[in-house]
Amino acid sequence: MTRLKHRPTCGPWLSSCYRACSSPFALHPSSFILHPSPFILSWLLVPLTLYFIVLQQRPSYEPRYMMLVTPALFLLFGLAFSAKGWGANLLGTATAVILLAGLGSYYTNEAFFKDDAAGVTQWLAAETTPDDIVYVDVPHPFHYYANRIPAPTRYLFVDIHTAAGTLNQEALGKNRLYWITWWGSDTDPRGVISYLLRKQAGPPTEEKQFRGYRVERYTLSGQPFSLPDKLSPAAVNFDNVLLLDGLAYSKTLSPGEAAWVTLHFSQLRPTDINYKISLRLRAPDGSLLAQVDKAILDDRHFQTAAWPIEDPALNQAINVYTLPLNRPNYTGPLTLEAVVYNAATGDSIAAYGVPTTNDDLVSARIGEITVNNE
């Protein structure tokens, strides 16, 4: 008879590990009740602690984040059905009182109320028609409610290079467009959609605030949505860090009309500073009629400190701006100025290649706009 050759096996090792891990559960029930398993407590507390730390950096809660600790929570809840002494009963009563007080605050304190997606839906259901279109910048939870809204309701993925084409394909020919933005969304930090809508339709005809959401209604003009694809060449050097090498803007305006500006930036050298740009419209008497300050972002919405100098797709970017005038009745010439500054300190950097306002070396004069008397 051929004898089987003995081979090493991991069975004993696995068995030992299993016994070690399961030993807290193998105790007599009374022992488990009096001394809850450290493993189960750790299972509950460690993820909650880590999640609490994350919440300090980015407060965003979803119920599914609690799935990991749910089994441990239910196991600990089971201890409540065991016999206990007066001290434990007193502690349980105090805990119940605290829990009820917390629940009362949760359901009455507006700071804890959830975002009012249902309210937005009810308003849109009464407001819109099939000849309108609704866009949301985050799909959840509106995909649950879309069939209640008469107008087509769609999630709009914002890509600065394709957004105008998407709007032309889906929204052109509609009467009104509703643009819903969530307070915590980072879908469109450059404001591309508002830029395209205001450029095509003018300012929103209605703006409405809901808890957690903002709704803008635009009455569409029937003209195509457009992002300038041919920018005029420019050569404004901001302290050998950024080069403004292309721009387009509205050369003429009607009274009360907002100006639009499109700029293209290229990175000249790596930097560890995040820069912002301040665009301004200044009248001949020096008065400031419009100003908008925004971070300079690439196509991944990275600020300038994170731009990779070696990647030509990400070390340059188009940014768009809308500048409403603070004097709606103004007519006459305006100078378009650009100031680039450190976002953290507010310190402006030098601008070369174009004249600067009052020779201050930072306020680059990049264009002239005329508001016609119409």
Indicate the helix (H) or strand (E) that contains 244: strand 242-249
Instruction: State the Cα–Cα distance between residues 347 and 238, nearest whole angstrom.
Output: 13
Distances (CA, A) of 223 to 126, 198, 218: 27, 12, 13
Q: What is the pLDDT of residues 43-58, one digit of tens each?
A: 888 888 888 888 777 7
> What is the per-residue DSSP string for 270-338?
--S--EEEEEEEE-TTS-EEEEEEEE-B-TT--BGGG--TT-TTTSEEEEEEEE--S-TT--EEEEEEE
Confidence at residue 12, expressed as pLDDT on a 0 to 100 scale = 44
pLDDT at residue 61, rounded to an integer: 66
pTM higher than the cut 0.85: no
Indicate if the alpha-carbon torsion angle 209, 255, 327, 282 is positive or negative. Answer: positive
Average pLDDT of the residues of the chain: 86
Average pLDDT over residues 296-302: 94
Residue 97: predicted pLDDT = 87
Answer whether 206's CB lies under 8 Å from 219's CB: no
pLDDT at residue 35 tops 90: no
pLDDT in tens, 314-346: 899 999 999 999 998 999 999 999 999 999 999
- Using alpha carbons, select from 244, 228, 226 the residue that is nearest to residue 236: 244
CA–CA gap between residue 199 and residue 224 (Å, rounded): 10
pLDDT higher than 70, residue 258: yes
The reported pLDDT for the residue numbered 20 is 44
Helix (H, G, I), strand (E, B) or coil at 266: strand
Query: What percent of the chain has pLDDT above 90?
Result: 60
Joined tokens for residue 11: 């069975």
Q: Tokens for 18?
A: 């299993």
Model confidence band, residue 373 (pLDDT cutoffs 50, 70, 90): confident
